[in-house]
Chains A and B, each alone.
Chain A
Amino acid sequence: MSNPAALDVRDLRKHYGQTIAVDGISFAVKPGEVVGLLGPNGAGKTTTINMLLGVLEPTTGTIFIHGIDLAKERSRALQQTNFAAVYAPLPGNLTILENLRIFGMLYDVPNLSERIEEVIETFDLKQFRKTKCGVLSSGEQTRASLAKAMLNKPPLLLLDEPTASLDPSAARYIRETIVEFVQKTLIGVLWTSHNMYEVTDVCSRVLFLSKGAIVLEGDPKALPGLHGKNSLEDLFVTVAREPLALEHHPA
Chain B
Amino acid sequence: MNPRRAFAIVLRIFFLMRGSFTRIFPLFAWAAIDIILWGFITRYLDTVQSNFNFVSTMLGAVLLWDFFTRAMFGISTSFFEDVWSRNFLNLFATPLRLSEYIGGLVVASMMTSFIGLVVMLTLAALVFGLWIFSFGAVVIVILLGLFLFGIAFGIFAIGIVLRLGPAAEWFIWPMPAVLAPIAAVFYPVAVLPIWLQPLARAIPASYLFETLRAIVKGGTVPADSLWIGCTLSVVYVFLAFWFFRVQYYHAVRTGLVARYSAETLS
Contact = CB atoms under 8 A, between A and B. Distances in A.
Interface of A: 16, 46-47, 50, 53-57, 74-76, 78-79, 83, 85, 87-88, 90-94, 98, 101-103, 105-108, 148
Nearest to A95: B15
B90 A91 contact: yes
Interface residues of B, number: 30
A211 to B, nearest CB: 18
Interface stretch (B55-63, B111-119, B231-239, B253-261): B253-261
Given A55-B89, A94-B15, A106 B258 contact: no
B127 interface: no
A93 B87 CA distance: 11
A41 to B, nearest CB: 15
Contacts of B258: 46, 50, 53, 55-56
B85 interface: yes
28 contacts: A16-B255, A50-B255, A50-B258, A53-B93, A54-B92, A55-B88, A55-B93, A55-B255, A57-B252, A75-B96, A75-B97, A78-B93, A78-B95, A83-B93, A87-B89, A88-B90, A91-B86, A93-B16, A93-B85, A94-B15, A98-B15, A102-B11, A103-B90, A103-B94, A105-B7, A106-B91, A108-B5, A108-B95
Q: Chain B: interface secondary structure?
A: helix
Contact of B8 (A83, A85, A87, A102): A102
Given A55-B258, A93-B85, A101 B90 contact: no
Given A50-B255, A53-B258, A75-B96, 16 more contacts: A16-B255, A50-B258, A55-B92, A57-B249, A57-B252, A78-B93, A79-B95, A88-B89, A91-B86, A91-B87, A93-B81, A93-B85, A101-B11, A105-B11, A106-B96, A108-B5
A56 B255 contact: yes
Interface of B: 2, 4-5, 7-8, 11-12, 15-16, 81, 85-97, 249, 252-255, 257-258
Contacts of B8: 102-103, 105-106
A175 to B, nearest CB: 23
Contacts of B92: 54-55
A105 B252 contact: no
A88 B257 CA distance: 12
Nearest to A46: B258
A105 B89 contact: no
B252 A55 contact: yes
